[in-house]
Amino acid sequence: MSQVMEVKDLKVYFDIKRGFIDDMLSKEKLQVKAVDGIDLTIGKGEIFSLVGESGSGKTTIGKTILDLIPATQGDIVFLGDSLKHKSKAEKKKFRQKAQMIFQDPYQSLNPKDIILDIVAEPLQVNGLIKNEKEKMQKVVNALEMAGLTPAEDFLYRYPHELSGGQRQRVAIAGAIVLDPEFIVADEPVSMLDVSIRIGILNLMMALRDRKGISYLFITHDLSLAWVISDRIAILYLGKIMEMGRADTIIHECLHPYSQSLISVMPVPAVNKEKERIILHGETPDPIHLPEGCRFHPRCPKVFEKCCREEPELTEVAPGHFAACHRIGERGRSLDEQERYKDNK
């Protein structure tokens, strides 16, 4: 699989704005480390999910990849071409090929525009249409591909006349009208009703199959990520804790954070007896990150090394990465290794 998107050691820090006097008096500059060293690659036609709680930096990563937020450090390579030091015109070219779908279709569409203009806007901005006929044809194509058929019925309507699911389809039509190679979908279904959700996800997958579009799918819902994606990365406070194939993450995860997330994930079945690993407290403040492993204050398997050293994301099995001191060579947990030694 050729790589469409490569992210290398990405860091995004936000400065905290304080009052003038506070700034004068204290030397230390406070920063929120929203994204703190992320490496990932997305192949052609791959759906890659970023899963994490709110504040884990998943949306920041999505926006930084599309150059909507400047990166503090690191490199973004799109189709073998680094985005660093690109001119404005070159970045505009890049944005034609990389699009975004936002979470809330009630806010992402201009309420005063008709659907035709909303979907045609990216074409106009990029000067890709010569005449009205061509514009109409491209918009109709995009709408039909997004499942709004017959497209003629929708062209002259306003967003408020459409249901949530239809609006999200318009947003998708606006994203695919430029024939992108890569789409960042930021919680595209979390505002929609359950019965509508599946339709949107099926549409995204159909577009992948038909046009080979790659996706970065950002979600807080691990079960949705599992169903639609090829690979999943689990984020905690701006770092990847575990990354691997969707089935591996759900059924064979090794990191204590992923394990507890999966244990509390509600499933549509009677499961009162299920053993839940509930983490107490809240995600720590991203300004003052804990030393060592950033998960250690809440980790049920913490030991003294975790408070000192930050674990690296290491390959524990082919294609399966985890960042935890408890996970030793070949994916064995430390307890298992000790038992193994004793037996010997």
Partner 1 sequence: MELLEVRNLKTYFKTQKGMVKAVDDVSCSLSYGKVLGLVGESGCGKTTTALSIANLLPPEGRIVGGEVLLEGEDLMGLSAGKLRKKRWKEVSIVFQGAMNALNPVMKVGLQIAEVLMLHDKLTYEQAMIRTKELFKLVEIDEERVNQYPHEFSGGMKQRAMIAMALACNPKIIIGDEPTTALDVMVQAQILNLLEKLKNEINMGLILITHDLSVLGEICDDVAVMYAGKIVEKGKVEDIFENHQHPYTYKLMNAFPNIYGERKLSDSIPGNPPNLLEPPSGCRFHPRCEFADERCKTKEPMLAEVGHRHFAACHYGGVFK
59 vs 260, which CB is nearer to partner 1? Answer: 260
312 φ, ψ (degrees, to nearest 5): -85, 155
Distance, in Å, from the CA atom of 250 to the CA atom of 263, rounded to the nearest integer, reads 10
Q: Is the CB of 23 or the CB of 193 nearer to partner 1?
A: 193
**Is 70 in contact with 210 (CB distance < 8 Å)?**
no
Shortest Å, Cβ 74 to partner 1: 26
Which residue blocks in 77-214 are alpha helix, DSSP H? Answer: 88-97, 115-125, 132-145, 152-155, 164-176, 194-211
Asked whether the CA dihedral 87, 90, 92, 94 is positive or negative, the reply is negative
Rounded to a whole number of angstroms, the minimum distance from the CB of residue 290 to partner 1 is 17
- Residue 286's beta-bridge partner residues? none
CB 27, min distance to partner 1, A:
27
- In the complex with partner 1, the residue whose CB is nearer, 17 or 280, is 280
Q: What's the rounded Cα separation, in Å, for the pair 156 and 158?
A: 7
**9: Cα separation from own chain's centroid:** 16
Beta carbon nearer to partner 1, 259 or 337:
259
State the nearest-atom distance from the C-beta of 216 to partner 1, in Å: 19
What is the binding site for partner 1 (CB under 8 A)?
53-54, 163, 165, 193-199, 201-202, 205, 220, 222-224, 226-228, 246-247, 250-251, 260-262, 264-272, 276, 278-280, 282
Identify the sign of the CA torsion 307, 312, 316, 322.
Answer: positive
Burial class for 314, CB neighbours closer than 10 Å (0-12, 13-18, 19+): middle
Q: Which is nearer to partner 1, 265 or 289 (CB)?
A: 265
As measured in angstroms, the least distance from the Cβ of 5 to partner 1 is: 24
Please, what is the minimum distance in Å from the beta carbon of residue 143 to partner 1?
Answer: 17
Considering beta carbons, is residue 71 or 200 the nearer one to partner 1?
A: 200
